[in-house]
């Protein structure tokens, strides 16, 4: 499914009879807006010849745009009144008898000044199905273009057949709804004889069954989640959907959802009320429930998958972590040690994302693996050490992970920085062990471009009381507070 909108609902084929009008010699004029050919239940198939029509009768901008050479193509006008009452649907078949490509302009709310106008290029033979209301009159303007000469209009004989069809409501057989990490996940199964289900409507409720208005929805409006194009057209379906931007459902006391299927004519299935499942978020190497298990009370956090009952990193993240560039920083004694690497950020989508300010960066990351030795040290990373500034790297960010595979291992303090083209990230009193350092551009790299950078990785010693220290805190740092004026650690 595709997120998202709002919805507020307001409010047997007859025997075919062939009627001809228009003539190549002009002896019979083609019908016009002022005198259209009426098509009703008793005359469902007509043949018109646009060669008997006047040029430039109407400017069909819905078909040809502003191209004056095309917009005045010869046309014949049919006034089709849909039979029955209420919502219906009508299939329109066309056959261009004389070899041109048939084009139909369908206008609602009037012929010369319609309230809605759409165009359909149907080739030498083709069909469309459109929603109609019983008793509604549509003006169908028949015109054409040359098959072999692009950009050229044509005229000739066209047979147009109107086939009204009954409309049926879809049926919702089962539904499962889950809200987790700002996403709404739904599994829906159902039937639809017409094959025109276009989405589902959700009404959110609290534990008492009272409607909860979310995202400015009023009490009589429902949340519309539309199906993707490849999910439409089936008479029997089972669809799994994930829709984004549902954080409000997590903050509100949403406990249930009333769901109906909606087809393209506005017909609805009978409502189905289901409990909204709110899983527990679990983390790296925690036990989890695999997708499809009901109820899935334990879902893995972002950037993790449930595999063999345990939250693990996806295989693409495992591969990226294994390919991180190893960097060896000399172990310092009393002064900072550092190494530098000149690299390039290239276009592409990243597979790993940081937390906090670093979460939404979509770009392809560069990764380094460093070891903090036993002792007491700060881990420092900074970019643009050559001071090239803007144009050198657009908007870089840096973040650390204690375990490359675990998104939750990014330190809460000193784990991420996003400060433009000159970033400096300090992780104070870094625990001994292996860290992964990530460098990205916040917005990603534009196609065909390359962003060079210089990254410096450093270990700064943390000194005990009485040790000689650097007042600026660059060569070292005092454990007990700022370096004194006497350049001795307190």
Number of domains present in the structure of the chain: 4
Residue 61 maps to a domain: yes
Residue 147 maps to a domain: yes
Q: Which residue has the tokens 């010693």?
A: 461
Residue 8 maps to a domain: no
What single-letter DSSP state applies at residue 407? G
Among residues 148, 165, 182, which one ends one of the domains? 165
Rounded CA Rg of the chain: 34
Among residues 143, 165, 187, which one ends one of the domains? 165
Question: Are 302 and 337 within one domain?
Answer: no
Residue 264: its pLDDT value, please? 79
Token pair for 170: 């879809």
Question: Are 203 and 90 within one domain?
Answer: no
Residue 4 maps to a domain: no
Residue 389: its pLDDT value, please? 45
pTM of the full structure: 0.59
What's the sign of the alpha-carbon dihedral 465, 470, 471, 474?
Answer: negative
**What DSSP element (H or E) covers 62?**
helix 61-64
- With CA atoms as reference, report the closest residue to 79 among 122, 135, 124, 128: 135
Tallying the residues shown for the chain, one arrives at 490
Among residues 124, 150, 165, which one ends one of the domains? 165
Residue 490 maps to a domain: no
**What is the domain range of residue 299?**
280-312
Question: Are 141 and 208 within one domain?
Answer: no
Looking up residue 70, the CATH number of its domain turns out to be 2.60.120
Residue 488 maps to a domain: no
Residue 363: its pLDDT value, please? 80
Is there a contact between 449 and 369 (Cβ–Cβ < 8 Å)? Answer: no
Question: Are 344 and 400 within one domain?
Answer: yes
Residue 320: its pLDDT value, please? 94
Residue 133 maps to a domain: yes
Beta strands, E only, 22-63: 37-39, 45-49
Question: Are 356 and 459 within one domain?
Answer: yes
CA distance 211 to 214: 9
Question: Are 128 and 197 within one domain?
Answer: no
CA distance 421 to 399: 15
Question: Are 370 and 406 within one domain?
Answer: yes
Question: Are 284 and 231 within one domain?
Answer: no
Is there a contact between 33 and 87 (Cβ–Cβ < 8 Å)? Answer: no
Question: Are 92 and 57 within one domain?
Answer: yes
Q: Within 13 Å, how many C-alpha atoms sit on residue 309's CB side?
A: 0
Residue 291: its pLDDT value, please? 64
Residue 408 maps to a domain: yes
Question: Are 81 and 116 within one domain?
Answer: yes
Question: Are 288 and 325 within one domain?
Answer: no
Question: Are 401 and 463 within one domain?
Answer: yes
Residue 330 has φ and ψ, to the nearest 5°, of -55, 140
What does each of the 490 residues of the chain score in pLDDT, given as a tens digit? 444 444 433 333 334 444 455 555 444 567 888 888 888 765 588 888 888 777 656 777 778 776 655 656 788 899 999 887 777 788 899 999 888 889 898 999 988 888 888 889 898 999 988 888 888 899 998 988 888 776 677 888 999 999 887 777 889 999 988 888 777 888 888 888 877 788 888 888 888 888 887 766 666 678 888 877 665 556 666 666 565 556 677 677 788 999 999 887 788 899 999 999 888 999 999 999 876 666 668 989 989 999 999 999 999 999 999 999 999 999 999 999 999 998 888 888 888 888 877 776 778 889 999 999 999 999 999 886 554 544 455 677 899 999 999 999 999 887 888 766 678 899 999 999 999 999 988 778 888 888 888 899 999 999 999 999 999 999 999 999 999 888 999 9
CA distance 437 to 398: 7
Cis amide leading into 406 (omega within 30):
no
Task: Give the rounded distance of the alpha carbon of 403 from its chain centre.
Answer: 31
Per 3-state DSSP, what percentage of the chain is helix, strand, and coil (rounded to 5)? 5, 45, 50
Residue 461: its pLDDT value, please? 98
């Amino acid at each position: 499914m595709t997120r998202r909108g709002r919805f507020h609902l307001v409010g047997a084929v007859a025997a075919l009879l062939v009627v001809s009008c228009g003539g190549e010699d002009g002896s019979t004029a083609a019908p016009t807006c002022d005198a259209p050919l009426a098509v009703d239940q008793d005359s469902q198939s007509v043949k018109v010849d646009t060669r008997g029509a006047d040029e430039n009768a109407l400017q069909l901008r819905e078909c040809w745009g502003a191209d004056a050479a095309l917009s005045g193509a010869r046309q014949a006008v049919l006034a089709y009144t849909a039979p029955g009452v209420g919502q219906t649907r009508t299939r329109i078949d066309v056959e261009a008898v004389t070899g041109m490509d048939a084009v139909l302009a369908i206008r609602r709310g009037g012929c010369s000044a319609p309230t809605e106008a759409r165009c359909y290029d149907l080739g030498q033979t083709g069909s469309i199905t459109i929603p109609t209301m019983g008793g509604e009159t549509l003006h169908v303007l028949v015109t054409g273009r040359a098959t072999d000469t692009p950009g050229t209009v044509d005229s000739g004989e066209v047979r147009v057949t109107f086939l009204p069809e009954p409309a049926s409501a879809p049926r919702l057989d089962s539904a499962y709804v889950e809200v987790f990490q700002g996403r709404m996940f739904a599994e829906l199964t159902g039937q639809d004889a017409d094959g025109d289900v276009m989405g589902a409507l959700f009404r959110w409720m609290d534990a008492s069954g009272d409607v909860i208005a979310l995202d400015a929805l009023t009490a009589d409006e429902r949340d519309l989640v539309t199906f993707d194009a490849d999910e439409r057209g089936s008479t029997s379906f089972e669809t799994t959907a994930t829709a984004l931007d549902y954080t409000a459902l997590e903050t509100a006391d949403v406990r249930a959802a009333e769901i109906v299927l909606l087809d393209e004519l506005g017909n609805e299935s009978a409502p189905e009320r289901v409990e909204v499942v709110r899983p527990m978020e679990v983390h790296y190497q925690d036990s989890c429930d695999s997708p499809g298990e009901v109820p899935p009370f334990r879902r893995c956090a972002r950037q993790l998958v449930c595999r063999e009952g345990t939250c693990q990193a996806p295989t693409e993240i495992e591969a990226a972590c294994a390919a991180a560039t190893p960097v060896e920083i000399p172990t310092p004694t009393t002064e900072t040690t550092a190494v530098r690497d000149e690299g390039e950020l290239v276009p592409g989508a990243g597979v790993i994302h940081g937390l906090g300010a670093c979460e939404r960066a979509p770009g392809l990351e560069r990764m380094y693996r460093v070891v903090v030795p036993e002792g007491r040290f700060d881990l420092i990373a900074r970019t643009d050490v050559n001071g090239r500034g803007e144009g050198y790297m657009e908007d870089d960010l840096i973040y650390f992970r204690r375990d490359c595979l675990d998104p939750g291992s990014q330190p809460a303090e000193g784990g991420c920085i996003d400060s433009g083209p000159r970033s400096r990230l300090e992780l104070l009193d870094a625990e001994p062990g292996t860290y992964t350092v990530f460098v990205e551009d916040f917005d990603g790299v534009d196609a065909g471009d390359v962003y060079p950078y210089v990254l410096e990785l450093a270990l700064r010693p943390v000194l005990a009381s009485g040790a000689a220290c650097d007042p600026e805190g660059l060569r070292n740092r005092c454990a007990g507070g700022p370096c004194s004026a006497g350049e001795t650690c307190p």
